[in-house]
Structure 1
Amino acid sequence: MKVEVQAKGLSAATFFRQHARKRMNVALGRFRDSVQTITVHLSDINGPRGGADKLCRIVVRLKNSSLVVIEELGDDIFKVIDKVADRVHQSVSRQVGRVNRAARGQHRTITQLQLLPEAV
Structure 2
Amino acid sequence: MNARVVLRDQGFDPEFADWAKAKVLAAFSRYGDEIARVQITASDVNGPRGGDDKRCALRLQTRLFGQLSFDSVDAEPRRAVARVIRRARRFIQRSLSVRRSHRRSGPTAD
1:46 aligns with 2:46: yes
Deviation string for 1:52-106 (max 9, x for gaps)?
A: 421000011111252221100111111111111111111121223334444555x
2:68 maps to a residue whose letter is V
Aligned to 2:78: 78
**Counting helix residues as a fraction of each chain, which structure ranks higher?**
1
Identical counterparts, % of pairs = 20
The structure with more radius of gyration: 1
Give the whole-Å Cα distance in 1 for the aligned partners of 2:58 and 2:8.
14
Segments of structure 2 that go 5 or more residues without pairing to the other structure are none
Query: SS in structure 1 opposite 2:10?
Result: coil
Aligned to 1:117: none
Query: SS in structure 1 opposite 2:61?
Result: strand
Output the aligned Cα RMSD: 2.3
Give the whole-Å Cα distance in 2 for the aligned partners of 1:103 and 1:34.
18
C-alpha distance 86-11 of structure 1, shift in aligned 2 (>3 A) = same
Give the whole-Å Cα distance in 1 for the aligned partners of 2:46 and 2:88.
25
1:79 maps to a residue whose letter is R
Aligned residues: 109
Segments of structure 1 that go 5 or more residues without pairing to the other structure are 114-120
Aligned to 1:6: 6
* Equivalent runs, 1:79-118 vs 2, <5 Å: 79-104=79-104, 108-109=106-107
Q: TM-score, normalised by structure 2?
A: 0.80
CA-CA distance at 1:47 after TM superposition: 2.3
1:94 maps to a residue whose letter is R
